[in-house]
Amino acid sequence: MSTPSKSIAILGGGISGLTCALRLAQAGHRVTIFEGSDQLGGLGTFFEHAGRTFEKFYHCTLPSDGPLLRTLEALGIRDEVYWRPTTFAYAHAGKFFPLNTAVDLLKFAPLRFLDRIRVGITGLVGRLVSDKGLDDVTTVSWLTQLSGKNAFAKFWKPMLEAKFGDRYHDVPALWFWTRFNREKGESKGEQKGYIRGGYKRITDTFAEVITRHGGQIHLNTTVTGIDLDAEGRTTVTTSTGASAFDQMVITLPTPQVEKLIGPAMKAKMPALDTSTDYQGVINHLLFLKRPLTSHYWVATPQSEHPFDGVVETSTLTDVADRGARHVVYLTKYLHRSDSRFAQPDADVRRDWTAALQKLFPDLTANDIEADYIFRAPFVEPIYRLGQKKLCPPEELVPGTVFLANTAQVYPIVTSWNGSVSQAEKTLAAMGVKVEASQAKSSVQAASKTSKVAMTPAVA
Ligand SMILES: Cc1cc2nc3c(=O)[nH]c(=O)nc-3n(C[C@H](O)[C@H](O)[C@H](O)COP(=O)(O)OP(=O)(O)OC[C@H]3O[C@@H](n4cnc5c(N)ncnc54)[C@H](O)[C@@H]3O)c2cc1C
C-alpha cells in the first residue's frame, strides 16, 4: 500500500458501508463500522422464519449489475448466485396480462390498439436513444410525447404514482430511461438472480472478510453526532462515548445525516441539498402453501388496490432457500408522513389480505402459513429536474469526510448495485481504486443491448 494506514469510521452497515469498509480494509486501513440496528445489510436485511432467513424487503440481482457481481466475486461468492427467467404481468379488472414480449403488448387489452403500438414504440425509442439531455426533461413530458396522452394517463401515470405518489411530476426522464434499460438490458429475455442462502449470505461474508482484514464492526451502535476536533480529526459520538478517526465515510440517507453534523464540520463542508426527500415503503410478506401466479412481479397500480405490486419471489428462489412455502411480498411506496405509512399492522394485515383475496378469489385463510409487515422510511430519493446537479459530492470535507449514500446513486437505479457503484466512486475520491477486471456498469451494459420486447419497469 502506498498511502499510510488510516483509521476510518464508516457510518452505516448497509451495502454502501460494507463496500467501503471492505475495500478500505483490503487497502490496509483500519476501519470501524457503526451500525445502529442489530444486523448488517440495511434495507437488504433479514429475519428468521421456521429455521431459515428471508429478506424483510424483496431483493434480487440482475445480470447487468456489474459492480455488485464483481464485489461478490471479490468476496468469493459470485458463483453462489443463480439465475432464472422471470416474468412481469399487469393486473386489470380482475385479469392478469403478461407483459414480456411485443406480442404480449399487442394483446394488452386495457389499452386501445393504437396506444399499445405507441407504448411499444416508446420501449424501442427508450432503448435506442441516448440519455443525453434527459435529466432536464420530465418523465411525464417524455412519456406523453412518445406514448400519447391516453397511454400516459392509463398506463404510465399509475405506475409513476405507485413509485413517487403525487411527486412524480418532476421526476426526470433520465431516471425512467435508466430504470427501463436496467431491467430490460438482457438479450436472452428477463432474468433475475438470487444468492444461495439469501442476502444474509452476502452480509455475513462481508463481515467475515472485513474482520479478517482487522476491521471492527459495532452493531446496536447508533451514531448521535459527528464533528471535527481541534486537530481536524473526525469524531463519532454514540451512546457509549466519542472516538476520533483520521477519516469518516457517511452512508446514511441524507435526511438522517443532517441532524448529526456538528458546527466545526458544518463550517467546512458544502451545504447538503436538503430538498431531495425520500419515499418510504411498506412490505407485507406472506408465506403461502400454494403459489399465486408464475410471475415474479404483478403490477397492481390502480387505486382500488392498497398495494402497488405483488412480488412472488418464490418464482425465482430455490426450495432450499425457502422450504416448500411460496413467498409473496405486497409492496407499497409511501412518504413517511402519509397516514397510511403509520397504519397499525393489524389494519394493514386485514385490508391488504382482503384486497389480495379479491385479486385471487381462490386464496383462503388456510393457504396462509404466516405473514409479516415491515416498513422503511428512507428508500427512494424523490428525484427532480436537473437531479444530477443536486447529487451531493463524494468529498464533504477535503481529505477527511466522505459520503456514499443513496442520494448520489442517481441516475443508476437505487439498488445494491447502484450503492456499490457509488461506493466505488467515493473510494476513488479517497484514493482507493477498486481492482478492475471491470465488468461494465449497469447503465453501460444495458444501453448496449438491443432486445425489442417491451415491458414497463417503473414499479
Ligand atoms: C422494498 C424494497 C425492495 C428493494 N429491492 C431491491 C432489489 O430487488 N435489488 C436491489 O439491488 N436493491 C433493492 N432495494 C434497494 C436496496 O435495498 C437499497 O438501495 C440499498 O440497500 C441501499 O443501501 P445503503 O447501504 O446505501 O443504505 P441502507 O440500506 O439504508 O443502509 C443504511 C444503514 O445505516 C444505518 N443507520 C441509519 N442511521 C444510523 C445511525 N444514526 N447510526 C448508525 N447506523 C445508522 C441503518 O440501520 C442502515 O443499516 C430494495 C429496497 C426496498 C426497500
Between the CA of 384 and the centroid of ligand 1 the distance, in Å, is: 21
89 DSSP β-pair partners: 98, 298
Q: How far is the CA of 266 from the centre of ligand 1 (A)?
A: 25
> What gap in Å lies between CA 248 and CA 388, rounded to an integer?
24
Ligand 1 closest atom vs CA 417: 11
- Amino acid type, 79: D
Distance from residue 41's CA to the centre of ligand 1 (Å): 7
28 phi-psi bin (left φ>0, alpha ψ -120 to 50, beta other):
left
Instruction: Read off the pLDDT of residues 383-437 as tens digits, 9 standing for 90 and up.
Output: 999 999 889 999 999 999 999 999 999 998 899 999 999 999 999 999 998 875 5
pLDDT tens-digit series, residues 202-236? 999 999 999 999 999 999 999 999 999 999 999 99
Centre a 10 Å sphere on the Cβ of residue 412 and count the other Cβ atoms it contains.
22
Neighbours of 224 (CB within 10 A): 13
- Mean pLDDT, residues 23-45 taken together: 97
Q: What is the largest CA-CA distance in the chain?
A: 69
Cα 319 from Cα 325, distance rounded (Å): 8
- Taking the centre of ligand 1 as the mean of its atom positions, its distance from the CA of residue 345, in whole angstroms, is 22
Closest protein CA for atom 1 of ligand 1? 57
Which one of 252, 258, 281, 391 would you pick to mutate in the ligand 1 pocket, going by the greatest count of ligand atoms within 8 A of its CB? 252
Q: How far is the C-alpha of 342 from the C-alpha of 401, rounded, in Å?
A: 35
Can you tell me which atom of ligand 1 is nearest the CA of 15? 25
Q: How far apart are CA 23 and CA 169, in angstroms?
A: 38
Grade residue 96 by pLDDT with cuts at 50, 70 and 90: very high
Nearest ligand 1 atom to the CA of 222 is 42
Distance in Å, CA 198 to ligand 1 centroid:
16
Classify the C-alpha dihedral 442-448-452-456 as positive or negative. positive
Mean pLDDT of the 339-365 span:
97
Sorting pLDDT into bands at 50, 70 and 90, what band is 274?
confident
| CA pair distance 54, 329, nearest whole angstrom | 11
C-alpha cell at 74: 471479490
Residue whose Cα lies nearest atom 25 of ligand 1: it is: 14
- Give the per-residue pLDDT at 455: 41
166 secondary structure, DSSP code: G
Give the residues across from 263 on adjacent strands: none
Q: Angle formed by the axes of helices 15-26 and 199-212, to 10°?
A: 30
pLDDT of the residue at 2:
53
Distance CA 275, CA 85 (A): 39
Shortest-distance Cα residue to atom 13 of ligand 1: 415
Superfamily in which the 7-82+196-273+390-447 domain is placed by CATH: FAD/NAD(P)-binding domain (3.50.50.60)
pLDDT at 180 over 80: no
**To which H or E segment does residue 370 belong?**
strand 368-381
Q: How confident is the model at residue 440 (pLDDT cuts 50, 70, 90)?
A: very low
The answer on pLDDT for 382 being more than 70 is yes
- Give the distance (Å) from ligand 1 centre to CA of residue 233: 28
Split at pLDDT 50, 70, 90, the class of 338 is very high
Q: Residue type at 402?
A: F
Domain boundaries, the chain: 7-82+196-273+390-447
**In sequence order, what are the beta bridge partners of 47?**
54
Identify which of 35, 43, 216 to mutate to test ligand 1's pocket (most ligand atoms within 8 A of the CB): 43
Residue 260 CA: nearest ligand 1 atom is: 41
Protein residues whose CB sits closer than 6 Å to any atom of ligand 1: 11-17, 34-37, 42-44, 57-60, 222-223, 251-253, 256, 281, 283, 331, 376, 379, 405-406, 414-417, 419
Atom 15 of ligand 1, nearest CA residue: 415
Torsions phi, psi for 192 (to 5 deg): -130, 160
- CA 15–ligand 1 middle distance (angstroms): 7
Ligand 1, atom 29, residue with closest C-alpha: 42
**Mean pLDDT of the chain, nearest integer:** 91
In whole angstroms, what is the distance from residue 301 CA to residue 456 CA? 12
Q: Ligand 1 centre from 291 Cα, in Å?
A: 28
Q: Name the grid cell of 230.
A: 481541534
- What gap in Å lies between CA 203 and CA 181, rounded to an integer? 28
* Nearest atom in ligand 1 to 256's CA: 38
Q: Which residues are 51's β-sheet partners?
A: none
Cell (9 digits) for 238: 454514540
Strand partners, 90: 97, 299
Query: 3-class SS at 38?
Result: coil
The DSSP secondary-structure symbol of 261 reads B
Residue 449: the pLDDT is 33
Residues 194, 321 contacting (CB under 8 angstroms): yes
> How many CB atoms sit inside 10 A of residue 51's CB?
6
How high is the pLDDT of residue 202?
Answer: 98
Q: What is the pTM of this model?
A: 0.92
- How high is the pLDDT of residue 128? 82
Q: Rounded to the nearest 5°, which phi and psi values hold at 305?
A: -100, 135
Question: Is pLDDT at 445 greater than 90 in this prediction?
Answer: no
Going by the DSSP 8-state scheme, the letter that residue 213 receives in this structure is: T
**35 Ramachandran zone, left/alpha/beta (phi>0; psi -120 to 50):** beta
| Cα-to-centroid distance, 413 and ligand 1 (Å) | 13
- Closest by CA to 18, choosing from 254, 251, 247, is 251
How remote is the CA of residue 231 from the centroid of ligand 1, in Å? 33
Measure the CA–CA gap between 17 and 248, rounded to whole angstroms: 11
> Ligand 1, atom 21: nearest CA belongs to which residue?
43
Residue of 166 and 74 predicted with greater confidence: 74
Mutate to test the pocket of ligand 1, among 282, 383, 415, 420 (most ligand atoms within 8 A of CB): 415
CA of 355 to the centre of ligand 1 (A): 28
For residue 379, give the ligand 1 atom closest to its CA.
53
Distance 419 CA to ligand 1 centre (A): 9
For the CA of 418, the closest atom of ligand 1 is 19
CB 69, CB 79: distance < 8 Å: no
Over residues 300-328, mean pLDDT: 95
Angstrom distance (rounded) from CA 54 to CA 286: 11
Distance from the alpha carbon of residue 103 to the mean position of ligand 1, in angstroms: 37
Is the pLDDT at 457 greater than 50? The verdict is: no
Write down the pLDDT at residue 97.
Answer: 96
Cis peptide before 398 (omega within 30 of 0): no
Contacts of 257 (CB under 8 A, 6+ apart): 250, 272, 403, 405
Judging by beta carbons within 10 Å of its beta carbon (0-12, 13-18, 19+), is residue 273 exposed, middle or buried?
middle
Q: What pLDDT score was predicted for residue 272?
A: 77
CA 400 – CA 271 distance, rounded (Å)? 16
